[in-house]
Amino acid sequence: MTDRSKASSEGARPPSGEAPTPGFTPLVVGMDALGALIVLGMMVVVNIDVFGRWLFDAPLAGTLELTEMAIVAVVYLQLAHTIRVKRLTRSDAFLDLLAKLRARTANLVMRMGFNLIGAVILAIIAYGQYPRLIDAWSRGYYKGNVGIFTAPTWPLEGIMLLGAAAASVQFVILAYRNLRQLRDR
């Protein structure tokens, strides 16, 4: 018995052991790693803020704003990889029942439908995110209080656009694999 969940140079293997998608998998794994680094950075910023308040009665300016933005960034950066390794939260009770009943075709069709719906929803999010990115860039939107701490919002808007687009593409890849499995039956 082999353990397919071990990490490789392509990140965690999907439970099905599918081969990486050339060109796209390294992007998704890189986005996931960047999300992990942001979590580490968030931890450092929050600890500096807490110890600054405790030891010097001087909090770190912008901790709240940076943490708010970082949480959203992490979600969007890691979404495509979560989908890739099939760890997106969902209820598989009905699909598991179909598998037990040996209704493999129905199971694959429903999984393909789920993946296509996910692709469409995330494509709509990406499509709606593009004007927000342009507005944030051209109008100089920021988060925070002038004179204390401000951070531009366009990097976060860009991360949300990239993350939604990558997640949509990942859903399309999974739907294509479902289709291939259906054809090979």
- What are the pLDDT digits (tens) for 15-62? 667 788 999 999 999 999 999 999 999 999 999 999 999 999 999 999
Is 90 domain-assigned?
yes
Domain span including residue 171: 22-183
13 phi/psi in degrees, rounded to 5: -75, 140
Strand partners for 142 = 152
SS3 of 143, please? strand
Is 38 domain-assigned?
yes
Q: How many CB atoms lie within 10 A of CB 80?
A: 27
Is 2 domain-assigned?
no
Is 9 domain-assigned?
no
In one-letter notation, the amino acid at residue 115 is N
Is 3 domain-assigned?
no
Is 17 domain-assigned?
no
Residues 9, 14, 17, 22, Cα dihedral to 10°: -50
SS3 of 7, please? strand
- What are the pLDDT digits (tens) for 131-153? 999 999 999 999 999 999 999 99
In one-letter notation, the amino acid at residue 145 is N
- What are the pLDDT digits (tens) for 52-90? 999 999 999 999 999 999 999 999 999 999 999 999 988
Q: What is the pTM of this model?
A: 0.88
Is 15 domain-assigned?
no
pLDDT higher than threshold 70 for residue 1: no
Q: How many domains, in total, are found in the chain?
A: 1
Is 41 domain-assigned?
yes
